[in-house]
C-alpha cells in the first residue's frame, strides 16, 4: 500500500537506514527488493561497541 501511494506521487526511490546489528531487518528488506547503497562505518556506539549504519535503496517502477 505504501509503495503504490509513493508511485502515485511519482516518488522514484525509497531509502532506509538500518543498524548493522539488526541483521533480521537487513535480511527482510533485502528479500523485498532493497539493495545496499551505502555504509557509514562506526557511526553509532551502544553497549560498549561501535556499529555501522547501512543504507538500502529500492527503486519503484
CA distance 7 to 24: 27
Domain around 26? 2-59
Q: In the chain, how many domains are there?
A: 1
The per-residue pLDDT for 1 is: 87
CA nearest to 18, candidates 51, 55, 58, 45: 55
User: What is the spatial order of strands in the sheet that 13-19 belongs to?
Assistant: 13-19, 49-59, 35-46
The per-residue pLDDT for 16 is: 98
The per-residue pLDDT for 61 is: 81
CA distance 8 to 2: 10
Its pTM stands at 0.87
CATH value at residue 28: 3.40.630.30
Q: What is the pLDDT along the chain (61 residues), one digit of tens a residue?
A: 899 999 999 999 999 999 999 999 999 999 999 999 999 999 999 999 999 999 999 999 8
* Strand-strand pairing, 13-19 and 49-59: antiparallel
The per-residue pLDDT for 53 is: 98
Amino acid at each position: 500500500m505504501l509503495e503504490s501511494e509513493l508511485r502515485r506521487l511519482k516518488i522514484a526511490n525509497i531509502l532506509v537506514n538500518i543498524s548493522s546489528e539488526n541483521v533480521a531487518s537487513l535480511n527482510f528488506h533485502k528479500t523485498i527488493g532493497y539493495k545496499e547503497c551505502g555504509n557509514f562505518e562506526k557511526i553509532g556506539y551502544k553497549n560498549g561497541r561501535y556499529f555501522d549504519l547501512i543504507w538500502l535503496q529500492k527503486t519503484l517502477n
